Amino acid sequence: MTHTGRHFLQIPGPTNVPERVLLAMSHSTVDHRGPDFAEMGLEVLQGIRKAFRTSGPVVIFPSSGTGAAEAALVNTLSPGDRVLIFETGWFSHVAWRVVAEKLGLAVDYVPGTWRRGASPDTLEERLRADAGHAIKAVVIVHNETSTGVVSRIGDLRRAMNRTGHPALLIVDAISSLGSIDVRHDDWEIDVTVCGSQKGLMVPPGLGFNAVSEKALRAGKSARLPRAYWDWQEMLKSNTTGFFPYTPASNLLYGLREALRMMDEEGLDNILQRHTRHGDATRAAVGAWGLEMVPEDPAEQSNSLTAVMTPAGHSADQLRQVILDRFDMSLGTGLGKLAGKVFRIGHLGWFNDLMLAGTLSGVEMGLALAGIPHKPGGVLAAMTSLTASALKPEAAPLAR
Ligand SMILES: Cc1ncc(COP(=O)(O)O)c(C=O)c1O
């Protein structure tokens, strides 16, 4: 089928890249050891701190998010170290458990249902039971992209602090940074891990580690082998705006533009925009009479919504109908949710009409694929968007 107009990329990352960022990346390749590069490098390395709400260093690798996860582990831990990883969904498994085990770490994988975030009570119990401080790090996926469930990092941090346990806190903010509040400093996170392709509105290819002083200190005695991922080499070069090896220079030009755009909109406004879009999407799903994966409304994601199709109805067939007929990509169900769940991405460079178009495609797709549902989801979303547009706190964005 021939498609006209724009493809709708509504997977929960990679996300739509703004024209301004695309244009910034179409910069001719520069000397990455020359003065123009250094100027851009310094702006990016300084500017990215705001997105993480940190005053400390953020290391930028030419990598995907999984590379940045590996970097967080190899820079802070030693072979055989015990790591507590909470099972939240597919990404706590593939990006963390599997990587940690391959690196020779001893993983305590705290079982989860994929419908709830990491439990602060369980974390507190586990740490209290570890009187000998064998656990060296706790890993939490903030926004589990496979389920749309958010773990409450502030509460988890407070639970850790109540125990006085010295384990590092490593947080995967790959699909939350720039769409759901992430507070690296306030939440005393030791390593916040991210990738460029979601809330940051840049194509895939950059991985990030925001690093606390405690994590840097841990790195002094950490014995996992590292060369490419070594923070120390990066931080030395970064002081002058450079990188120890050839950086992904064009992506960095794109990131500079994206950070400027984020500054213009304001981080709080960006988060509020994502809240409105999350609320409107949930209003649509509720009106369709379909079930969402998150069980606790306090843990619902504002960057994506994972929706279950009724038993006996394939979510993949629905996605196929929507792709063929409306040229829209939705996220697939991952791991044990394959075929049972579709995911609507509503993060990054996005607006009310893009959301209305997205939800229209889903509603028409539900009808065409013969999925039992009630009509009226799009109307419910529009009502939600209109109501929130009228609230003073959702007034025009500060510039
Ligand atoms: C929460 C989360 N963690 C880890 C990853 C892995 O990142 P990447 O695919 O960039 O390696 C993803 C990717 O979508 C993710 O959403």
**What is the DSSP track for 81-101?**
-EEEEE--SHHIIIIIIHHHH
Average pLDDT estimate for 331-355 = 98
Average pLDDT estimate for 330-351 = 98
Which residues are registered as beta bridge partners of 149?
A: 144, 300
Which residues are registered as beta bridge partners of 92?
A: none
Which ligand 1 atom lies nearest to the CA of residue 143? 1
Which ligand 1 atom lies nearest to the CA of residue 144? 1
Q: What is the pLDDT of residue 119?
A: 98
Report d(CA 228, CA 322) in Å as an integer.
41
Report d(CA 353, CA 90) in Å as an integer.
31
Q: What is the mean pLDDT of the chain?
A: 97
Q: What string of DSSP letters covers 156-173?
A: HHHHHHHHT---EEEEE-
Q: Report the separation in Å between the CA atom of 174 and the middle of ligand 1, taken as the mean of its atom positions.
A: 6
Q: What is the pLDDT of residue 393?
A: 58
Evaluate if residue 398 carries a pLDDT over 80: no
Q: What is the pLDDT of residues 60-118, one digit of tens each?
A: 999 999 999 999 999 999 999 999 999 999 999 999 999 999 999 999 999 999 999 99
Q: Report the separation in Å between the CA atom of 59 and the middle of ligand 1, taken as the mean of its atom positions.
A: 17
Q: Which of 88, 171, 175, 208, when mutated, tests ligand 1's pocket best, judged by the most ligand atoms within 8 Å of its CB? A: 175
At residue 392 the predicted structure's pLDDT band, cuts being 50, 70 and 90, is low
Report d(CA 294, CA 296) in Å as an integer.
6
* 307 CB within 6 A, ligand 1: no
DSSP category for residue 191: E
Six token digits for residue 56: 């400390």
Q: What is the pLDDT of residues 132-181, one digit of tens each?
A: 999 999 999 999 999 999 999 999 999 999 999 999 999 999 999 999 99
Lowest mean pLDDT among 254-263, 311-320, 382-391: 382-391
- Note the pTM of the prediction, 2 decimals: 0.97
Q: What is the pLDDT of residue 271?
A: 98
CB-side neighbour CA atoms (13 Å) of 309: 27
* 13 CB within 6 A, ligand 1: yes
Taking CA atoms only, the protein residue closest to ligand 1 atom 7 is 65
Q: What is the pLDDT of residue 397?
A: 42
Average pLDDT estimate for 270-278 = 98
Average pLDDT estimate for 341-349 = 98
Q: Report the separation in Å between the CA atom of 91 and the middle of ligand 1, taken as the mean of its atom positions.
A: 6
Six token digits for residue 204: 């895939």
Which ligand 1 atom lies nearest to the CA of residue 176? 1
**Could you give the 3-state DSSP secondary structure of residue 85?**
strand
* 91 CB within 6 A, ligand 1: yes
Q: What is the pLDDT of residue 182?
A: 98
Which residues are registered as beta bridge partners of 62?
A: 206
Q: What is the pLDDT of residue 281?
A: 98
* 175 CB within 6 A, ligand 1: yes
Residues, the chain: 399
Q: Report the separation in Å between the CA atom of 95 and the middle of ligand 1, taken as the mean of its atom positions.
A: 7
Evaluate if residue 377 carries a pLDDT over 50: yes
Q: What is the pLDDT of residue 391?
A: 74
Report d(CA 67, CA 99) in Å as an integer.
9
Evaluate if residue 395 carries a pLDDT over 50: no
Q: Report the separation in Å between the CA atom of 163 and the middle of ligand 1, taken as the mean of its atom positions.
A: 30
* 332 CB within 6 A, ligand 1: no
Burial class (CB in 10 A: 0-12, 13-18, 19+), 29: exposed
Evaluate if residue 396 carries a pLDDT over 50: no
Q: What is the pLDDT of residues 176-233, one digit of tens each?
A: 999 999 999 999 999 999 999 999 999 999 999 999 999 999 999 999 999 999 999 9
Q: What is the pLDDT of residue 260?
A: 98
Secondary structure, 3-state, 252-304: HHHHHHHHHHHHHHCHHHHHHHHHHHHHHHHHHHHHHCCEECCCCHHHECCCE
Identify the CA nearest to 194 among candidates 342, 11, 13, 8.
13
* 345 CB within 6 A, ligand 1: no
